[in-house]
Structure formats: structure tokens, C-alpha cells
């Protein structure tokens, strides 16, 4: 027997609910209220539970209302709900991914990329305007080292064919020689020339940056990710000097005995909470040392510039949780500078992932991860003897593999650390991305077998079995789940919903056959499965997953 559709807690509506009440009193009140309420065309049954009144919707009305709405609204089902009617449409700038040129694209960058993409997708689906920003680590002393390294070990052909790989190799080689005083001086000289705008030095740096972005765009395309703006620390050289002057003019910049520039963030102004913004030699920082968070004026300049340029309602930064203090200080200093919009800035943090390695060893580039997961899925498909039925095995394996990565990453709270497991991520049964893709492909095939028409006409009396009702009840809840994720920006609510949807659809597929059923019954069941597939596909796309139609 299916559970009731809605439940009213008596404790939540009692005027004296705070004074504490025996559970038997609440149950008695629930019983009395249930007896006084009357059923109507919408509510077919009212019953009392332990301190609750339970309402069951007319089953035929449930089937008709849910299926008609899903089939009519398609990909907009859920996002058009009245739950969002009072939510103002906003303009949001979201900064995510943000790798460092010539350094490892570590797993934190992958998390930032897929989390930021999810937040952007969700906001766009809900009618907000979104600017997706990739803020590259494209400036700093490492480019002095990289420039010297390229002059020694660089190869222009390799730079053009595989810039990220080649620059990383050069960076590793020159780092081995970085202790040498002569190399240090050459690196300082190269970066000084870069800051002064020397044409030849700047031209080489620009080549590093442009070729790297080209390759990033190609790799991001495999992830189904795009950006509206490629920004970077290099953009804010001059503007950071303006920020320095603002801090000085407002009397916010103080000097320690060592000559280090600090901003005092303590309430009592006793230097108990410092944000160090400048070395004693006048250069700015973005490193953590001795418990103090030090960061660049460039981040302040970037925030101010973005707000001036985009006039947005909110700015969201997606990085790992080790940078929480950094953003706390950043927002605090912006407020001290008089920018009250800093209260509308948000840091969405995530935990660390341990154990992600390819067969070749440690993950260095995002492409390593994508190639590894595709290879593993292809191997699984071959051993399952289903590859021959798939038109493009490589493309399918890529999409299934990406779903596996995303679902394993999004199942828990973003702020939680987790241990990555290839075996767990790639299981075809259980709560995995592979299972979601398998369910979608199965429901797609079912529609293909029976003509793949866009069905709208069905007899609701044919959808009264418990497994059909359970699926309909779950479809009804989709907007609530979207609302929860829109409030806390956690994808786990949608992931949990889609996994349950897939399990319910799998059970219904087994117990409610289409083939061999009377035409009217078959038609109604096809409508139910079509609605389930539509909602599943919509939710997967929000998470950044492209649903497959064959597996």
C-alpha cells in the first residue's frame, strides 16, 4: 500500500507547541481533526497517524495532473513551479575551475569545475542570468622560472601541439635547478621584465597563456563545460595599485616592524586578526604562512572590477575549503573599503578528494582523468558484451564515465572530504552515475521499441498499481528538491532524488510491462515511463551529465 501524499504535524500548528506535549495527546488531537475533515474531489482519504494527519490525493487526479504537467513542460518541469514564483531573478557572476598555467590541474580543479558548472546550470534553469568566469593563475614569480625554463628546455613545436603537458615538463625541469643562485636571478629578471612590459618577454608569456587557454577549451568541451570569460591575475596589475592606494587613503594599511603590509581585521583593532597583503619588498602575496592568510591586491581589484563591469546581484567563488579564510578576509576588506555589496558575495567550498590515481600514477592533468575513466568504461562495456549494439562506443564511454565521476563527487555534502574509488564509481548497479545512464538508456529504448511518439493521451485508470503510484508521487516532489538545491547550492539533493527515481523506474519497468499488455494499458504505462525519463534527463543535465541513449 502506498504512503500518503501529504502529512500535517499537529505539533507544528498548536499554539502552545513550545510547552511540550505528550505524544498520546497529539495523537488524540490528530484523530479528532482527521474525523472532522472531509474528503473531496482532490483528497480521497484522510487518516490519523502518531501526532499527524495524513492526506491521500485522488489517485486518478494524481496520475493526470503529474503526467500532463511533465509531458507538457518537458525540460522546464519543476523549474516553473510556484515554489520559485517569489524568488527574484538575479544576475550572478560565478568563478570556478581557475587552474594555474604550467602547474598540475589537480583534482581540486576538477571539483571546482564540476561544482561551478552545476551551480551555473541550476541558476540558468531557474531563469537567472549567469556569467561564468575562469580566473586563471597566469601571473607571478613562477612565470619568471617558466620563462627561463623555456629558454633552456623549451620546444616551440611541442608548445603548439601540447602546451599544458610541455609547459608542465619545462616547469618541473627548471624547478630542479631553482636552488641555483644564477637561475634565481635570471627568473627574477624575467619576471621584472614581464612586469615592466618588455615586448619580447610579454610575447612569450602571451603565447604560453593563449595556447594553454586553447587547450583548456578543448578539454572543457569534453566535460561539457564552457566559460563566458577567461580572466586572470595578469588582468589586474595596474588596478591592484589602485587598491593599494585606496587602503592607504582609508588608513587601513599598516606596517609591521618587519615592514610587512597588513590590514587589521580585529574588532578591537589590536592586530589580533591580520590579513597580510604585502611583503616588505612591496610585492603582493597569495600564500598561507605561519597561520596568517596573505593574499594579493589582485583579488580585491578583480572583485571590484567585476562588480563595476557586470553590476551583478551576487558573486560566487567555488574553491576548496582551505581557502575559506582567504575569502572571509577578502569580503571583510571589501566592506572596510565601503563596498557593501561584499555581503552578497559567497564562497562555496568543497572538501578534498583522496586516492584519485590513473594506472600511470598520480593525476597531473584533467585529460588524464577523462582518458582513464573512458578507458575503464570501454573495458567494462566490452566485458559485458554490449559494445556491438552501441553506435559510438568512445562517445558513450566518455559520457558514462563522466556521469560516474560526477555522481560519486556529488553524493555527499560538498564540504566533506572523500576517498575516491574507481570500482565504486563504475558499478553498474547501486547508487552510481553508471546506473543513472543505464536507466535512461533503458527507458529510451522502451520508447523506441513502441514507436517513440510524443504521447499525451492516456487512461489514468490504468495507472493505479502501487509501483505506478510510487513513481508518480516521486515525480510530484521534483520541484521541492530543486528548491532545496537552489537554497543551499548542494547537488546532493538532486543526486539522491535521481537515484531514487531510477530505482523506482527499474521496479516499475519490471512489474508494469508494456509489451503484451492491452493497448490502452500499454499506452498509459508508456506515458509514465516517458515522464520518468524526461525528469531523469533534465536532472542529469543540471548536474552536468549528458544522458546516453544506448549502453
Q: Which residue has the higher pLDDT, 38 or 3?
A: 38
139 & 186 share domain: yes
Nearest to 425 by CA among 353, 510, 507: 353
Q: How confident is the model at residue 293 (pLDDT cuts 50, 70, 90)?
A: very low
Residue pair 52/8 in contact by the 8 Å Cβ criterion: yes
Q: How confident is the model at residue 290 (pLDDT cuts 50, 70, 90)?
A: very low
40-49, 105-114, 283-292, 433-442: least confident range: 283-292
pLDDT given at position 281: 46
User: What does the alpha-carbon distance between residue 52 and residue 32 come to, in Å, rounded to a whole number?
Assistant: 11
C-alpha cell at 51: 501526532
Query: What's the CA angle centered on 220, arms 191 and 218, to 5 degrees?
Result: 80
The total of other beta-carbon atoms located within 10 Å of residue 317's CB is 25
101 & 234 share domain: yes
Radius of gyration of the chain (CA): 28
Residue 199 lies in a domain: yes
Q: How confident is the model at residue 263 (pLDDT cuts 50, 70, 90)?
A: confident
The residues, any chain, with a CB within 8 Å of residue 540's CB and separated by 6 or more, are 403, 436, 440, 498, 546, 547
Q: How confident is the model at residue 268 (pLDDT cuts 50, 70, 90)?
A: low
Examine the pLDDT at 428 and tell me if it is beyond 80: yes
pLDDT given at position 361: 66
Q: Which residue has the higher pLDDT, 423 or 337?
A: 337
Q: How far apart are the two ends of the chain, measured CA to CA in Å?
A: 34
Average pLDDT over residues 398-423: 93
pLDDT given at position 259: 59
385 & 311 share domain: no
49-78 pLDDT, tens digit per residue, is 888 999 998 999 999 999 999 999 999 999
291 & 395 share domain: no
Average pLDDT over residues 250-255: 80
Give me the CATH number covering residue 420: 1.10.730.10
**Cell 628546455 maps to which residue?**
153
Residue pair 260/276 in contact by the 8 Å Cβ criterion: yes
pLDDT given at position 256: 65
Q: How confident is the model at residue 180 (pLDDT cuts 50, 70, 90)?
A: confident
338-397 pLDDT, tens digit per residue, is 999 999 999 999 998 887 777 666 666 788 888 999 999 999 888 876 545 788 999 999
121-169 pLDDT, tens digit per residue, is 999 999 999 999 999 999 888 899 999 999 999 999 999 999 988 999 9
Average pLDDT over residues 521-534: 96
Residue pair 94/117 in contact by the 8 Å Cβ criterion: no
Examine the pLDDT at 8 and tell me if it is beyond 60: yes
Average pLDDT over residues 268-287: 50
402 & 316 share domain: no
Residue 260 lies in a domain: no
Residue pair 510/111 in contact by the 8 Å Cβ criterion: no
163 & 305 share domain: yes
pLDDT given at position 437: 97
246 & 300 share domain: yes
Examine the pLDDT at 210 and tell me if it is beyond 50: yes
Average pLDDT over residues 230-247: 88
Q: Which residue has the higher pLDDT, 319 or 386?
A: 319
Q: How many domains does the chain have?
A: 3
Residue pair 106/350 in contact by the 8 Å Cβ criterion: no
Q: Which residue has the higher pLDDT, 251 or 131?
A: 131
**Beta strands across the sheet bearing 129-136:** 229-232, 129-136, 91-95, 314-320, 345-350
Length, in residues, of the chain: 551
User: What does the alpha-carbon distance between residue 432 and residue 548 come to, in Å, rounded to a whole number?
Assistant: 15
One-letter-per-residue 3-state SS of 439-451 = HHHHHHHHHHHCC
Query: What's the CA angle centered on 408, arms 402 and 409, to 5 degrees?
Result: 90
119 & 168 share domain: yes
Q: Which residue has the higher pLDDT, 369 or 96?
A: 96
> Which residues constitute the domain of residue 531?
63-87+359-543
Instruction: Point out the residues that are catalytic.
Output: 103, 106, 109
Q: What is the pTM of this model?
A: 0.89
Residue 162 lies in a domain: yes
Q: Which residue has the higher pLDDT, 482 or 29?
A: 482
CA dihedral 240, 245, 250, 256 (to 10 degrees): 90
The total of other beta-carbon atoms located within 10 Å of residue 256's CB is 12
User: What does the alpha-carbon distance between residue 299 and residue 306 come to, in Å, rounded to a whole number?
Assistant: 11
401 & 534 share domain: yes
Q: Which residue has the higher pLDDT, 85 or 22?
A: 85
Residue 258 lies in a domain: no
pLDDT given at position 152: 95
295 & 435 share domain: no
Give me the CATH number covering residue 335: 3.40.50.620
Chain-wide mean pLDDT for the chain? 88
Average pLDDT over residues 16-45: 79
The residues, any chain, with a CB within 8 Å of residue 530's CB and separated by 6 or more, are 71, 443, 447, 455
Examine the pLDDT at 284 and tell me if it is beyond 60: no
pLDDT given at position 238: 82
Strand partners, 390: none
426 & 328 share domain: no
211 & 235 share domain: yes
CB-facing half-sphere around the CA of 414: CA atoms within 13 A: 24
User: What does the alpha-carbon distance between residue 331 and residue 158 come to, in Å, rounded to a whole number?
Assistant: 42
DSSP letter at 288 equals: E
Residue 550 lies in a domain: no
Examine the pLDDT at 18 and tell me if it is beyond 60: no
pLDDT given at position 125: 97
pLDDT given at position 195: 87
Residue 263 lies in a domain: no
Residue 18 lies in a domain: yes
C-alpha cell at 416: 566533506
The residues, any chain, with a CB within 8 Å of residue 447's CB and separated by 6 or more, are 526, 529, 530, 533
Residue 271 lies in a domain: no
Stretch (H or E) spanning 93: strand 91-95
Amino acid at each position: 500500500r502506498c504512503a500518503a501524499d501529504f502529512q500535517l504535524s499537529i505539533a507544528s500548528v498548536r499554539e502552545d507547541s513550545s510547552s511540550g506535549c505528550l505524544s498520546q495527546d497529539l495523537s488524540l488531537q490528530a484523530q479528532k481533526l482527521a474525523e472532522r475533515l472531509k474528503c473531496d474531489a482532490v483528497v480521497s482519504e484522510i487518516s490519523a497517524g502518531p501526532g499527524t494527519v495524513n492526506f491521500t490525493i485522488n489517485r486518478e487526479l494524481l496520475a493526470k495532473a503529474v503526467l500532463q504537467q511533465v509531458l507538457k513542460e518537458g525540460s522546464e518541469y519543476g523549474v516553473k513551479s510556484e515554489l520559485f514564483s517569489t524568488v527574484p531573478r538575479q544576475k550572478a557572476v560565478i568563478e570556478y575551475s581557475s587552474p594555474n598555467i604550467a602547474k598540475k590541474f589537480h583534482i581540486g580543479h576538477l571539483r571546482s569545475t564540476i561544482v561551478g558548472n552545476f551551480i551555473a546550470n541550476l541558476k540558468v534553469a531557474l531563469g537567472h542570468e549567469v556569467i561564468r568566469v575562469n580566473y586563471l593563475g597566469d601571473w607571478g614569480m613562477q612565470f619568471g622560472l617558466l620563462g627561463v625554463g623555456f629558454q633552456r628546455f623549451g620546444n616551440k613545436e611541442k608548445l603548439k601541439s601540447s602546451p599544458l603537458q610541455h609547459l608542465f615538463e619545462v616547469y618541473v625541469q627548471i624547478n630542479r635547478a631553482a636552488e641555483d643562485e644564477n637561475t634565481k636571478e635570471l627568473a627574477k629578471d624575467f619576471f621584472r621584465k614581464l612586469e615592466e612590459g618588455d615586448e619580447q618577454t610579454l610575447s612569450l608569456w602571451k603565447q604560453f597563456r593563449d595556447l594553454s587557454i586553447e587547450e583548456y577549451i578543448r578539454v572543457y568541451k569534453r566535460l561539457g563545460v564552457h566559460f563566458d570569460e577567461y580572466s586572470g591575475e595578469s588582468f589586474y596589475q595596474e588596478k591592484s595599485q589602485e587598491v593599494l592606494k585606496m587602503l592607504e587613503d582609508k588608513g587601513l594599511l599598516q606596517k609591521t616592524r618587519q615592514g610587512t603590509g597588513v590590514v587589521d581585521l580585529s574588532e578591537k583593532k589590536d592586530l589580533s586578526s591580520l590579513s597580510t597583503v604585502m611583503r616588505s619588498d612591496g610585492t603582493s602575496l597569495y600564500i598561507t604562512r605561519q597561520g596568517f592568510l596573505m593574499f594579493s591586491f589582485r583579488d580585491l581589484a578583480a572583485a571590484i572590477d567585476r562588480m563595476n563591469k557586470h553590476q551583478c546581484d551576487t558573486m560566487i567563488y567555488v574553491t576548496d575549503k582551505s581557502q575559506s579564510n582567504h575569502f572571509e578576509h577578502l569580503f571583510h576588506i571589501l566592506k572596510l573599503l565601503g563596498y557593501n555589496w561584499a555581503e552578497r558575495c559567497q564562497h562555496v567550498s568543497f572538501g578534498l578528494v583522496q586516492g584519485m590515481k590513473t594506472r600511470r600514477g598520480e593525476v597531473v592533468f584533467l585529460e588524464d582523468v577523462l582518458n582513464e575513466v573512458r578507458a575503464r568504461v570501454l573495458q567494462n562495456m566490452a566485458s559485458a558484451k554490449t559494445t556491438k549494439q552501441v553506435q559510438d562506443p568512445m562517445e558513450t564511454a566518455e559520457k558514462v564515465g563522466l556521469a560516474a565521476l560526477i555522481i560519486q563527487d556529488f553524493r555527499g555534502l560538498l564540504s566533506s572530504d572523500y576517498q575516491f574509488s574507481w570500482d565504486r564509481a563504475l558499478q553498474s548497479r547501486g547508487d552510481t552515475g553508471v546506473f543513472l545512464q543505464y536507466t535512461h538508456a533503458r527507458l529510451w529504448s522502451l520508447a523506441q521499441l513502441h514507436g517513440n511518439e510524443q504521447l499525451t493521451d492516456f487512461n489514468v485508470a490504468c495507472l493505479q498499481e502501487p509501483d505506478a503510484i510510487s513513481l508518480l508521487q516521486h515525480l510530484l516532489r521534483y520541484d521541492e528538491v530543486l528548491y532545496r538545491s537552489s537554497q543551499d547550492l548542494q547537488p546532493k539533493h538532486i543526486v539522491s532524488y535521481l537515484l531514487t527515481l531510477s530505482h523506482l523506474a527499474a521496479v516499475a519497468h519490471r512489474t508494469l510491462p508494456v509489451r503484451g499488455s492491452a493497448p490502452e494499458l500499454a499506452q498509459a504505462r508508456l506515458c509514465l515511463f516517458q515522464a520518468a525519463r524526461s525528469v531523469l534527463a533534465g536532472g542529469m543535465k543540471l548536474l552536468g551529465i549528458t544522458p546516453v541513449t544506448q549502453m
